[in-house]
Structure 1
Amino acid sequence: MGVRKRFLTAGLVAAMAICGLVCWLSLAREASAQSVPVPRVNIEVGTAQNPQEVSQSLQILLIITLLSLAPAILIMMTSFTRIIVVFSFLRSALATQQMPPNQVLIGIALFLTFFIMAPTWQAVNRDALQPFLRGEIDQEVAFERGMEPIRTFMFKQTREKDLALFVSLAKIPRPRTYEDIPNYVLIPAFAISELKTAFQIGFMIYIPFLVIDMIVASTLMSMGMLMLPPMMISLPFKILLFIMVDGWHLLVRSLILSFS
């Protein structure tokens, strides 16, 4: 009887599988008989027939390249570098590990960058982008006009010593005015100037928290509590000090005023 039941069960399973296969084939046949409106997307690579097609292809390639380099442009030509480095120093001085998280710090740094760079980007939009969209100027003129406010911002924040360094390394004639300095010389000089300024601000941030660490460590040693980590005791005092002086307000205010 047991063998019989096994054969019956196997037969039922096989019959169900065959029925399912037949139903699926019939549905597939009906679906193939009806036209399904599925959009078709083609990407063709062919030979250009005229110079206009070559120009359009190069423009598309340039746009894709700019989109891929947009984060680097935002970091290296704006106030983002100084802000995010100072925030990193603050978190290290507080010794709060991953608090605030990286996403929060980057988000705050981005919005502060938008706030600081708003006058510059408004000038770019007014003098370069809108005339170009209206067809009043071509791409080269739009690029030159768009770079003028950005170059003005970078020149204000760049030290002459850093500019002289990259001018000498580039082996170009000594510039008489700021207009004689090319962008590939100005941008790295601006970057290292921003890093130096950020490290100076970070050093000033470290001093009060370092004093708290030293006081707590010396107190624990004098009490003979050598097995208790000083960082665990000093962390609440550093957070309390930062809250009492309204640290975020002072830090953000100092960062924004440092660009004026």
Structure 2
Amino acid sequence: MTRKGAGPALIRDRAAMKPRRTSVVKWLLIALAILLAVSVAMPAFAQAAPAAPAAPAAPGVGDAVDRALGQLSSGAASGGTQSAPLSLSLQVLIIMGLLTILPGILLMMTSFTRIVIVLAVLRQALGLQQTPPNQVLIGLALFLSLFVMAPTINQMNTQAIQPYASGQLAGTQMIAAAGAPLHDFMTKQTRVKDVTMFAQMAKSGPYASPKDIPYAVLLPAFTTSELKTAFQIGFLIFLPFIVIDLVVATVLMSLGMAMLSPSIISLPFKLLLFVLVDGWALTMGSLANSFAT
């Protein structure tokens, strides 16, 4: 007996399959050759194709930092030598440095200093430790500062930011135009005595007009004037609450209650007086009017 499929028929089938396998391998090699040719030719076509010119972007406020970094990287070359652009780490370092310094400068050049000091003195005069909390006081000072600085900000927007966004001013011209309303605001709030003191220390002046005062003299003079004005307003706020403390302390001493703290008894009367006179509206309105010129 022989196995099924053994014999001359099986040998003929195997011999017929060899040409088929050879043809399949040939087609696979052809397909691989075509794919390799296409993959090699595509970069050449991409390089040969002309790139469409990018539309020039209109100058705006958002790219001011990029322009400054570009000028720094291209302006560092001297003697005909080209300098490499700033590295990413150095650009991040410059931006983080500006973000650290600019908020402090802007806060010291606005009405924020006077307002936050007066609100802190008011809380101390009421005898409250953490009420309102610091976040609330800073928020009040910030939004009241925006209210007071609204005319100055509008002038800066009209004279500097909008012309720069439309391409009418360069970056340096925009900075000079934006600083003019802020310089005018600080000059009106600064005492002549403080300006004279810092000008003498800097051996600068005399100045023909307030616009000629340099920022190196105006900034410390403005900060000193704001601190003095804030403490003057704080003193006036403290007076009625001190009277309440004295009256309560005298009554307690006359009743022989020396062991009882007068601040515990006087606190409700301070709050009652502050609510009756509408103290918050009076304080915020007086602070806003103190910057009127």
Spell out the pairing of 1:1-260 with structure 2 (5 A cutoff): 50=82, 53=85, 63-260=95-292
TM superposition shift of 1:74: 2.7
Distance (whole Å) between structure 1 residues aligned to residue 91 and residue 188 of structure 2 = 32
Structure number with bigger Rg? 2
Identity %: 53
Distance (whole Å) between structure 2 residues aligned to residue 139 and residue 59 of structure 1 = 18
Amino acid at match of 1:196: K
Residue matched to 1:14: none
Distance (whole Å) between structure 2 residues aligned to residue 140 and residue 177 of structure 1 = 23
Amino acid at match of 2:133: P
TM superposition shift of 1:73: 1.9
CA contact 1:216–1:230 (8 Å) conserved in 2:
yes
TM superposition shift of 1:130: 1.6
Higher relative contact order, chain-length normalized (CA < 8 Å, sep 6+): 1
Amino acid at match of 1:85: I
CA contact 2:118–2:233 (8 Å) conserved in 1:
yes
Amino acid at match of 1:110: L
TM superposition shift of 1:173: 3.2
TM superposition shift of 1:177: 1.3
Aligned length: 213
Distance 1:126-1:59 versus aligned 2 partners, 3 A rule: farther
TM superposition shift of 1:197: 0.4
CA contact 1:74–1:80 (8 Å) conserved in 2:
no
Amino acid at match of 1:218: T
TM superposition shift of 1:66: 2.7
Distance (whole Å) between structure 2 residues aligned to residue 61 and residue 152 of structure 1 = 32
TM-score normalised by length of structure 2:
0.68
Distance (whole Å) between structure 2 residues aligned to residue 238 and residue 257 of structure 1 = 24
SS of 2:149 mapped into structure 1: helix
TM superposition shift of 1:70: 2.6
CA contact 1:158–1:194 (8 Å) conserved in 2:
yes
Amino acid at match of 2:130: Q
Amino acid at match of 1:171: K
CA contact 1:162–1:189 (8 Å) conserved in 2:
yes
CA contact 2:125–2:241 (8 Å) conserved in 1:
yes
The Cα offsets for residues 15-70 of structure 1, whole Å up to 9 and x where unpaired, read as xxxxxxxxxxxxxxxxxxxxxxxxxxxxxxxx97846946x999876544332113
Q: Which runs of 5+ in 2 are unaligned?
A: 1-72, 75-80
